Amino acid sequence: MQDAGLAGTLKTYDGCYVPRFIERDPEGSISLHTWGIAIDMDAATNYRGIRGTMD
């Protein structure tokens, strides 16, 4: 983020490790957060299923 010049647009860091299924559905896929290959930023305004905020 810093190297890309985007650090000023980040308001919160909301974690990256969550051992769970996507949408908590055991029939679904495992969350990318489980593997540590996804992170949440500004989660309050960019949660799954909405058109989030874009700075």
Tens digit of pLDDT for each residue in 21-55? 888 888 988 888 788 788 777 878 887 788 887 76
Total count of domains within the chain: 1
Residue 3 pLDDT? 92
Q: How far is CA 15 from the centre of its chain?
A: 7
For residue 34, which of 44, 46, 42, 24 has the smallest C-alpha distance? 24
Range of the structural domain that residue 22 is part of: 1-55
| Sign, Cα dihedral of 14, 42, 30, 23 | positive
pTM: 0.44
41 beta partners: 13
Give the distance between the most distant pair of CA atoms in the chain: 39
The token duo for 15 is 């974690």
